[in-house]
Amino acid sequence: MKETKIVLSEQDIPRSWYNIVADMPNKPLPPLNPATGEPISGDALAPLFPSGLIHQEVSQEPWIEIPDEVREIYALWRPTPMFRAWRLEKALDTPAKIFYKYEGVSPAGSHKPNTAVAQAWYNKQDGVTRITTETGAGQWGSALAFACQLFGIKCEVYMVRISYDQKPYRKLMMNTWNADVYPSPSDRTAAGRKILAEHPDSPGSLGIAISEAVEVAATNEDARYALGSVLNHVLLHQTVIGQEAIAQMEIAGEYPDIVVAPFGGGSNFAGLAFPFLRYHLTGERPIRAIAAEPTACPKLTRGVFRYDFGDTVGMTPLLPMYTLGHNFVPASIHAGGLRYHGAGVIVSQLLKDKLIEAQAVDQIDSFEAGVLFARSEGIIPAPEANHGIAVALREAEIARKEGKAKTILINLCGHGNFDMASYEAYFAGKLERLSLSQEEINDAVSKIDTPEIAG
């Protein structure tokens, strides 16, 4: 029998997170205080994040030990399985060897709990009893709800109202895990009340929901705020994925020429790619790491590298990132997790230094790839995951034309069980191609009013 699935036992759950900053030739530029333009210290983040996470956010150490209690919860789904995509390879008639690492086995169905559990633990150490966050379609909110419940921390989720009303199932998942979920804008915060006064029927936005969650954390001593991507400590926690994948590839007797993952803020991509990049940076094991972003939100392939706010309304420090501008509003594609205007700081620096690559994928192509994947491999992927699959299919086709048996590893970051309405829209021919014109890109970039980066 051909080997299909490579599994590890729970003793193989990584013992440390890998901090790629330690090995980067050019370290990321510091975040700036938007009022003064001066670099800010970690202390400035204390009202929002617990000390352990702030330490990780600024750490230059290559390895940070994973607390036992976090590893014990990881054991509920980790190590995640890796698969050889025999049936997909056959369907593509490619000599490429395709593998995928499947993160959808977590209780929340995606890679997000890898950081949610860690964040909840560090909050618990600081005596935090309440964690606030925002969520759009609910993938991050449900991961944090799950994590908080296991530590007895109250989770307070501000969910964009239109998603709250139209997509009730992820909200119910959060309720099942004991979280309080509020449609945003809400009357619980000054930010929410201000919006409601002007627009009583506001459908909400991720920007508004962030403002509400941050306000509650900043103004309540028992509460802190949690973010599901972008920040250094979030990317750090996801590196368990790549570390396991290296061990699994070794069992398979292979090593990837290409690793590919969908790209929203960077945590999913970083999680798979950074542990492999460690050996790329030393020249020991060269690899191509490809971030797959949507053509509707192409900050890596068509954005600019400069300081910008991490949020829409401009409350965060200024971060050095590839961005389309914090006011850029991407089209409402179904891969909601990829609709973020900028790229995390570390990933942005790596791209600037040409140590990683990026490719953009149209949503129609992404669903075509996802359906082929489901019909070959069984798992129905999340719309976000379909972007990574689509890039892998492109590379497999190049391998076919070149007759080369390249090894490609995909981060299959989650299942599509809560996204079947997206597949329905695809099957019904209701999706549009969504490439931006150069004028639209220029227009978005010209509106950025934050500092440029010299050089």
Which is closer to its own copies, CB of 7 or CB of 453? 7
Q: C-alpha angle 350/82/232, rounded to 5°?
A: 30
Query: Least distance from C-beta 380 to its own copies, angstroms?
Result: 5
> For residues 349 and 366, which CB has a smaller minimum distance to its own copies in the complex?
366
Least distance (Å) from its own copies to the CB of residue 147? Answer: 9
In angstroms, the CA 85 to CA 94 distance is: 11
**Of 173 and 318, which CB lies nearer to its own copies in the complex structure?**
173
Tokens linked to 248: 């699994």
Burial of 203 (0-12, 13-18, 19+ CB in 10 A): middle
Instruction: For the CB of residue 269, give the shortest distance to its own copies in the complex, in Å.
Output: 24
Rg, Å, the chain Cα set: 21
- Cβ count near 317 (within 10 Å): 16
Q: Based on CB atoms, which residue is closest to its own copies, 99 or 423?
A: 423
Residue 214 burial (CB count, 10 A): 24
**Burial grade of 202 (CB within 10 A; 0-12, 13-18, 19 or more):** middle
How many Å apart are CA 165 and CA 163, to the nearest integer?
5
Which residues, listed in sequence order, are joined to residue 60 by a DSSP beta bridge? none
Rounded to whole angstroms, what are the CA distances from 24 to 27, 55, 276, 419? Answer: 6, 18, 13, 37
Cβ proximity to its own copies: between 230 and 409 the closer is 409
DSSP state of 306: E
Nearer to its own copies, 61 or 424 (CB): 424
- What is the nearest approach in angstroms of its own copies to the Cβ of residue 437? 32
Nearer to its own copies, 100 or 307 (CB): 100
Min dist CB 79 to its own copies, Å, is 8
Query: Could you tell me the smallest distance in angstroms from the CB atom of residue 107 to its own copies?
Result: 3
Q: How far is the CB of 62 from its own copies (least distance, A)?
A: 23
Question: Could you list the residues that contact its own copies (CB under 8 A)?
Answer: 1-5, 7-10, 68, 71-72, 75-77, 83, 87, 105-107, 109, 146, 149-150, 168-169, 172-173, 175-178, 371, 374-375, 377-380, 415, 417-418, 420-421, 423-424, 427
